[in-house]
Structure 1
Amino acid sequence: MKLEMIEIKNLVRSNILELQPYSSARSEFTGKEGIFLDANENPFGTMNRYPDPYQSELKQKLADLKGVTPQNIFIGNGSDEVIDLAFRIFCDPGKDKALTFSPTYGMYDVSAGINNVELIQLPLSADFQIDLEALKPYFDDSKIKLMFICSPNNPTGNLIDQKAIDFILENFKGIVIVDEAYIDFAEGDSLTKKINQYNNLIVSQTFSKAWGLAAARVGTAYAGDEIISLYNKVKPPYNISQLNQKAANEALNNFNNYEANLNLILSERKRVENVLLKIEKVKKIYPSDANFILIEVENADQIYTTLVEQNIITRNRNKQVKNCIRISIGTPEENDTLINRLKNIQ
């Protein structure tokens, strides 16, 4: 079946279509050799020059790793910039809407509020999957420009059913953003393989989780050429510092370290789950495809507070999922400490 392609330009804010992007000195001259007198930089120092505004080296490495072209990649100041720019490109403030599925990552709500865009939040099913029957009526609302799907989902940890995502991509006439911040920890395939199949798809990933670079703030978006060109049009000229580009490049050069840490986290996740299931106050552990687990306990507020008092910091998700705490998988030693403290809570 041949899929009908979405007219992306019909979804873009008119002022963005007309926008003339800022032309920086480093975008006009891309060479590395010469006497640089074009950008009003200080001639002295080691960090005195502006960074590559299009992160060419980093994009090429990611392209080789993901099996896409550099033209299919946007690098953001964390995946939060990927989210925020989507609102700024596609949603007219006070007019357009976005949609997501709760419980999920809180920045969709925050970014919608900052950009004065109504965010519709449809509840996930009991097993934290998308209820397509409840969603279908919203396909007819032309004001809904964006749909956010977090997979693996935060805070529940599970992958969203691939068939449901495909159905949405084939029937929703807006932009679908699949947030794959935790995809490295999952057995399922990334949707980056489908960006050429669906021109309304944006796949967001990050260096913050599996790559261990949360402090560097490097996020990525994978999409068709048309969407990536819009992102490059509206982004700040130097949105990724040279220090952060270097950190990401070095991480990609050290793939063995990434793989070893990833495997240790996965094995520790399984071990922690098995041990916690034997603790009486732990009522349920939800299946996880991420580097954290969501557990249901007798009294989430009390247990969270008691752990904090013992310098064990978890995330209280009681307001999102009743009596649940989200626990990131730490080092084996950290996990042992958590387990022992949980066992001893009265």
Structure 2
Amino acid sequence: MNFENFILPHIWNLKPYSSARDEFKGKEGIFLDANENPLGSGVSENWNRYPDPLQLAIKDQLADIKSCSTNQIFLGNGSDEAIDLLMRMTCQSGVHNIILCPPTYGMYEVSASINHIEQRKVSLSKNYQLDVEGILQTVDQNTRLLFLCSPNNPTGNKLKRSDIYTLIESFKTGFVVIDEAYIDFSDEPSFILELAKYPQVIVMQTLSKAYGLASLRLGMAFAHPTLIQLLNKIKPPYNIGGATQEIVFKALNNPSFKNDSVRLILAERTRLVDSLQNIPDIIQIYPSDANFILVHFKRATELFNYLIESQLITRNRSSVALCEDSIRITIGLSEENDKLVQLIKQFYSA
């Protein structure tokens, strides 16, 4: 694949900013190079030194966990940073376009709007699967990015893998971005394992869900080394703070927490679905491969407001196309899920 054909020329030729920590990578010595405060930080731990701009220690861990190479990994301030950088790297406003498949993660559209990039939308089917023919008919020579979210947010289901393969093999004008934020809760293998075969694929994942690190805002993109080099070239110099890097390093050394979390959340998801199936005013509980479920309720907005009055917060998705009268429910602790079921029964029995 000739990447240069699909990268904006000024990005391809850009000379990146060189930070102090790019020029000297050692950890020992007297540091008088980066205009840092030599006195420390005024708190119990010192954060006065700039962090590793390429987060190499974390990438070494992730390479083992994800069965890839460190030069295939980009780390961003949430997956949102990778989404934004990919658009700025490939799309010129007024020239190029991207394809979205709603209902899906809303930041694809927001980021495209911020960058003033044309969005072409090909809705999922009624059972929340890809319209492969419709997508391929929408692609033109200026389509640079195709975003696929699997398992999908807000619907929770995984997309048919055969459909994803068809799109990867048929899409010739740019990159297929597969957002796997919820892959840890699915039985599907990651497309990270397919990167050698498909250099046009970019996979996104996160530590916000199964790893329980949402507050740290660390997202991951996995791709061909050439694309990773470009992302590193255009990102802010120190996009991942030192405190975040230190905490993430510790968390990745404790895989049992992530594994236990996934196991317990999946068990609770099954138990919650079983409990909700006994409520006659629920129209449909959609299949889920994520840590949440989407449920079609009678009088969904009224129920949503009733739950808020009891300080139980869910996500009303009723205004989203194909999700009318539906509420997205994150799987909580056992007692939280029991409280949810109790309140739903109270609402419909009133």
TM-score range (shorter-chain normalised) is over 0.9
Moved more, 125-134 or 209-218: 125-134
Structure 1: segments with no counterpart, 5+ residues? 1-5
List aligned pairs for 1:1-346, cutoff 5 A. Answer: 6-45=1-40, 46-139=46-139, 141-173=140-172, 174-320=174-320, 321-345=323-347, 346=350
What is the CA–CA distance in structure 1 between the aligned matches of 2:294 and 2:316, rounded to whole Å? Answer: 10
What is the CA–CA distance in structure 1 between the aligned matches of 2:205 and 2:326, rounded to whole Å? Answer: 26
Structure 2: segments with no counterpart, 5+ residues? 41-45
What is the CA–CA distance in structure 2 between the aligned matches of 1:109 and 1:31, rounded to whole Å? Answer: 41
What is the CA-CA distance between 1:130 and the residue it aligns to? 0.6
> Which amino acid is 1:226 matched to?
T
What is the CA–CA distance in structure 2 between the aligned matches of 1:250 and 1:336, rounded to whole Å? Answer: 33
> Which amino acid is 2:341 matched to?
I
What is the CA-CA distance between 1:209 and the residue it aligns to? 0.6
- TM-score of the aligned structures, taking structure 1 as reference length: 0.97
> Secondary structure, in 3 states, of the residue corresponding to 1:123?
coil
What is the CA-CA distance between 1:135 and the residue it aligns to? 1.7
Moved more, 71-80 or 11-20: 11-20
> Which amino acid is 1:326 matched to?
R
> Secondary structure, in 3 states, of the residue corresponding to 1:102?
coil
What is the CA-CA distance between 1:257 and the residue it aligns to? 1.3
What is the CA-CA distance between 1:258 and the residue it aligns to? 1.2
What is the CA–CA distance in structure 1 between the aligned matches of 2:25 and 2:238, rounded to whole Å? Answer: 14
What is the CA–CA distance in structure 2 between the aligned matches of 1:263 and 1:162, rounded to whole Å? Answer: 23
What is the CA-CA distance between 1:57 and the residue it aligns to? 0.4
> Which amino acid is 2:338 matched to?
D
Q: C-alpha deviations, 1:266-312, integer Å up to 9, x for none?
A: 00000000000101221110000000000000011111111111101
Moved more, 266-275 or 86-95: 86-95
What is the CA-CA distance between 1:152 and the residue it aligns to? 0.3
> Which amino acid is 1:84 matched to?
D
> Secondary structure, in 3 states, of the residue corresponding to 1:284?
strand
> Secondary structure, in 3 states, of the residue corresponding to 2:121?
strand
> Which amino acid is 2:153 matched to?
N
What is the CA–CA distance in structure 2 between the aligned matches of 1:14 and 1:143, rounded to whole Å? Answer: 15
Contact 2:120-2:138 within 8 A present in 1 as well: no
What is the CA-CA distance between 1:136 and the residue it aligns to? 2.0
What is the CA–CA distance in structure 2 between the aligned matches of 1:245 and 1:262, rounded to whole Å? Answer: 23
Q: CA RMSD in A?
A: 0.8
Q: C-alpha deviations, 1:192-251, integer Å up to 9, x for none?
A: 001111111100000101100110000000001111011011000000001111121111
What is the CA-CA distance between 1:94 and the residue it aligns to? 2.3
What is the CA-CA distance between 1:171 and the residue it aligns to? 1.1
Q: C-alpha deviations, 1:2-23, integer Å up to 9, x for none?
A: xxxx321111111101211000
Identity of aligned residues (%): 47
What is the CA–CA distance in structure 2 between the aligned matches of 1:133 and 1:92, rounded to whole Å? Answer: 26
Contact 2:296-2:325 within 8 A present in 1 as well: yes
> Which amino acid is 1:328 matched to?
T
> Secondary structure, in 3 states, of the residue corresponding to 1:220?
strand
What is the CA–CA distance in structure 2 between the aligned matches of 1:340 and 1:262, rounded to whole Å? Answer: 24
> Secondary structure, in 3 states, of the residue corresponding to 1:148?
strand
What is the CA-CA distance between 1:319 and the residue it aligns to? 1.3
What is the CA-CA distance between 1:138 and the residue it aligns to? 2.4
> Which amino acid is 2:226 matched to?
E
Contact 2:211-2:257 within 8 A present in 1 as well: no
What is the CA–CA distance in structure 2 between the aligned matches of 1:29 and 1:21, rounded to whole Å? Answer: 16
